[in-house]
Amino acid sequence: MSTAKSDIILERMMALHPKIIDLTLDRMWRLLHGLGDPQDKLPPVIHIAGTNGKGSTLAMIRAGIEAAGLRAHAYTSPHLARFHERIRVAGQLISEADLSTTLDTCCTANGTEAITYFEITTCAGLLAFSRTPADFTLLEVGLGGRLDATNVIAAPKLTIITPISIDHTQYLGETLAEIAFEKAGILKNGVPCVVAPQPDEVMEVIERQAARVGAPLIAHGQHWHVTSERGRLVYQDEVGLCDLPLPNLRGAHQIANAGAALAALRFLALGDVAYEAAVTQAEWPARMQRLVSGPLFDAAPLAELWLDGGHNAAAGAALGAHLATLPSRPTHLICGMLNTKDVTGYLAPLAAQADSLMAVSIPGEINTLSARDTANAARAVGLKAGEAASVSQALDMILDREPAARILICGSLYLAGAVLRENG
């Protein structure tokens, strides 16, 4: 298969800075100015930060906006199978031709100046959005918030902070309060912020920052409430009550994500059709996704195959809680993680729900945790563990023992992306 032009340009962009992550906004301002400040020419922006649930919340909001007959740009990261997934222009994945042209423009404007891959590709996304009419722009923070490359919008329509937990401590700080301060950096004067359920110490930081900059809060537990009752989702705010189906994105944690999405859509006053679509029509791959086609599915006709890209302790807890709600069935994990993650914190909540774990290295990732280290971490939390050279081999080894097992491939979005590519 021939290499796409955009892949060649993206590979070249990787060499523009010696670090993958270098948090500052100076390089963004320089390049955006050289591009004509596209960040000032966007449809109303909804800016989303948080540790977990950013992508799911964005997907629900997008589903609601589109059901209301409107169009939204959407910027997310990382991608799973193809870079194009990061940039959705007026509802459609950016075309190869438009992506290549936009990347070329950014490279030319940047010249040989140092800039990180995420920064220059974020500029490309903003430039693409500025060239096509839409009703809203949905921006997902890449890392943190205060110094994230997406934090260049002077006056968003709305900001959202999804649940915050410990992650990326090497960049954001060791404590919840320090991490919350970075996430709360997206708050802007006069711009309302929807706040999802948070630990008390996180909420204190958000409230303090909101008061300092003059950002009104639309906070869970104060201004809106969400719960599941008798197989339905019940959302209530100062306007009234919504009785809706449970989210089509699986897991109890999606209730809170749906609440934040509904709070945003209620603020936008998009109507009942949008609210129902948010919970019934959202699409977000590799979040407790059931694999029902493709080569992996064909190789395991009696098994139940799942894929999830969660990768921190909070994601492990959410995944463990969801597994506990499923019908009893032998359950085995195929797990690969990055060496920057808290593997023990992730695996500990899964130990009670799984019969075994097969560890793999993430293909093509320099920062993968070795299969041996992942297996050792699994044993340390009480899981029976083995190693395999690939997901396919791990799947075969499990199926040889239990052809009708429940098998969950998990631990990293990068592993999930590799699986989705392998599975077509």
CATH label of the domain that carries residue 100 = 3.40.1190.10
- What is the pLDDT, as a whole number, of residue 98? 97
Same domain for 362 and 272: no
CA distance 40 to 137: 12
Same domain for 266 and 393: no
Same domain for 220 and 185: yes
CA distance 87 to 145: 19
Look over the chain and give the mean of its residue pLDDT values, rounded to a whole number: 94
Give the residue from 357, 412, 405 showing the smallest Cα distance to 380. Answer: 357
CA distance 16 to 376: 37
Residues 6+ apart with CB under 8 A from 278: 60, 61, 63, 64, 67, 258, 261, 262, 265
CA distance 424 to 360: 20
- What is the pLDDT, as a whole number, of residue 94? 97
- What is the pLDDT, as a whole number, of residue 192? 98
Is residue 170 scored above 80 in pLDDT?
Answer: no
The C-alpha angle 134, 136, 141, rounded to 5 degrees, equals 125
Distances (CA, A) of 35 to 108, 116, 128, 347: 10, 16, 11, 45
Same domain for 275 and 311: no
Work out the pLDDT band at 298, boundaries 50, 70, 90. Answer: very high
Same domain for 234 and 87: yes
Work out the pLDDT band at 2, boundaries 50, 70, 90. Answer: low
- What is the pLDDT, as a whole number, of residue 135? 98
Is residue 282 scored above 60 in pLDDT?
Answer: yes
The stretch 274-289 carries a mean pLDDT of: 93
Same domain for 312 and 211: no
Share of the chain above pLDDT 70, in %: 99
- What is the pLDDT, as a whole number, of residue 173? 84
> Whose structure tokens read 């110490």?
201
Is residue 126 scored above 50 in pLDDT?
Answer: yes
| 116's tokens | 């990180």
Same domain for 210 and 172: yes
CA distance 386 to 356: 8
Single residue among 280, 298, 317 that ends a domain in this structure: 280
Report the CATH number that the domain containing residue 363 is assigned in CATH.
3.90.190.20
Same domain for 339 and 237: no
Tens-place pLDDT, residues 205-223: 999 999 999 999 999 999 9
Q: Which domain holds residue 82?
A: 5-280
Beta strand ranges found along 124-231 (DSSP E): 136-140, 158-161, 193-195, 217-219, 224-229
Single residue among 280, 306, 334 that ends a domain in this structure: 280
- What is the pLDDT, as a whole number, of residue 23? 79
Work out the pLDDT band at 24, boundaries 50, 70, 90. Answer: confident
Sheet holding 232-237: strands in order across?
A: 224-229, 232-237, 241-245
Is residue 62 scored above 60 in pLDDT?
Answer: yes
Same domain for 270 and 196: yes
Cβ contact 44:157 at 8 Å: yes
For residue 122, the tally of other CB atoms under 10 A from its CB is 28
Same domain for 177 and 199: yes
On the 0-12 / 13-18 / 19+ scale of CB atoms within 10 A, 224 is buried
Tens-place pLDDT, residues 68-81: 999 999 999 989 88
Same domain for 229 and 99: yes
SS (H, E, C) 43-89: CCEEEEECCCCHHHHHHHHHHHHHHCCCCEEEECCCCCCCHHHHEEE
- Helix, strand or coil for residue 264? helix
Number of separate domains in the chain = 2
Single residue among 250, 280, 310 that ends a domain in this structure: 280
Same domain for 324 and 258: no
CA distance 392 to 296: 7
Is residue 246 scored above 80 in pLDDT?
Answer: yes
Tens-place pLDDT, residues 352-388: 999 999 999 999 889 999 999 999 999 999 999 999 9
- What is the pLDDT, as a whole number, of residue 1? 44
The stretch 168-189 carries a mean pLDDT of: 90
For residue 249, the tally of other CB atoms under 10 A from its CB is 24
